[in-house]
Amino acid sequence: MKLNIELVKGLWENARDSMFHALEHISELGSTDENKIHHRKWIILSAHLAAECFLKILLKSLDPSESQFKDSKGRTWFPSLSETLLAIRKFEQSGELKQSEQKLLDLLEKLNKVRNEIIHRDLPNDIDPSVAAWSILAMLRAFSSRIGVATREIFDQVPPIETDIVNLIRWHKLGEYQAFVEQSLREDYPNIPFFPQCPNCGTMAILNDSCESCFVEISRVECRNCMEEYYIFSDQKHRLFFGNVCPNCGVSPTKD
């Protein structure tokens, strides 16, 4: 069910601030060669804090009374991320959790493990922020679904900051991320039978003239050679997989 954002305003603002903090370090990570380990660490820690808030919001939408975390006197106590995950897992068989949300729970378990590894031992040199980056994007989709907050209302920047987050996800994990986005779109828009393929990242995720996976702006054009319509993206610097050529005949689009 969709939760009134006013009921979880404090949790939402805390989650949003944590994601903003992660994004500050993502921007710094991409603009300098200094302190990369420091920035990766704080991307992970900030994403983890956002995840704790998100899971409490998700649990409140499933169990408004928060009965699982009240003592014998009715006082609410504050569970850890692992405890909240276990509480939410109890709803998996009831049909109240979407398949994409169940995948997100698996992802946040991985994030919790990564966070614990950097908190409870010497800081490793090979910190990988991929799981944190994917977690932020996945939580944004879930926030939109559960409390009606659109991603572009949260991070309204040009070019979209979400693109920088996608770039942190290592290549061998991109396929899982893209499958998650496609699954989420099918669940959130059941009346749309087909989502066109993004010419930039290859994900079947074009909605309202942008890609919900890599966040580039998309335009539909007609090929000047074979007259077939297809999609192009305007920002060449974000090209990941495909160029702006007609998939039917290979001719570049006409420039305005």
Residue 249, SS3 per DSSP: coil
Give 168's pLDDT tier (boundaries 50, 70, 90).
confident
**Rounded distance, CA 97 to CA 95, Å?**
5
The answer on pLDDT for 27 being more than 80 is yes
Say if residue 159 is preceded by a cis peptide, omega within 30 of 0: yes
Distance CA 115, CA 46 (A): 10
Nearest of 77, 75, 81 to residue 56 by alpha carbon: 81
The mean pLDDT value for 101-124 works out to 89
Residue 84 lies in a domain: yes
> According to the model, what pLDDT value does residue 10 have?
87
Residue 182 domain flag: no
Residue 210: inside a domain, yes or no? no
Give φ, ψ of 60 to 5 degrees.
-65, -35
So what's the pLDDT on residue 238? 46
Which residues, 6+ apart, have CB-to-CB distance to 249 below 8 Å?
A: 223, 225, 226, 228
pLDDT at 104: 93
Summarize pLDDT for 190-208 with one digit per residue, the tens: 999 999 998 888 899 999 8
pLDDT greater at residue 248 or residue 43? 43
Backbone angles phi, psi at 126, to 5 degrees: -105, 40
- Percent above pLDDT 70 for the chain: 83
For residue 172, with 0-12 CB atoms within 10 Å meaning exposed, 13-18 middle and 19 or more buried, which class applies?
exposed
At 255 the pLDDT is 47
Please list the residues that pair with 227 across neighbouring strands. none
Residue 179: pLDDT band by 50, 70, 90 thresholds? Answer: very high
Question: Does residue 221 belong to any structural domain of this protein?
Answer: no
What pLDDT shows up at residue 175? 86
Does 169 map to a domain?
A: no
**Residue 202 located in a structural domain:** no
Answer for the pair 139, 52: CB distance below 8 angstroms, yes or no: no
Instruction: Indicate whether 173 belongs to any domain.
Output: no
Amino acid present at 64: P
**By residue range, what is the domain housing residue 90?**
5-156
Classify residue 40: in a domain, yes or no: yes
Structural domain count, the chain: 1
Q: Of the spans 55-69, 98-112, 135-149, 220-234, which averages the highest pLDDT?
A: 98-112
Sign of CA dihedral 132, 135, 137, 139: negative
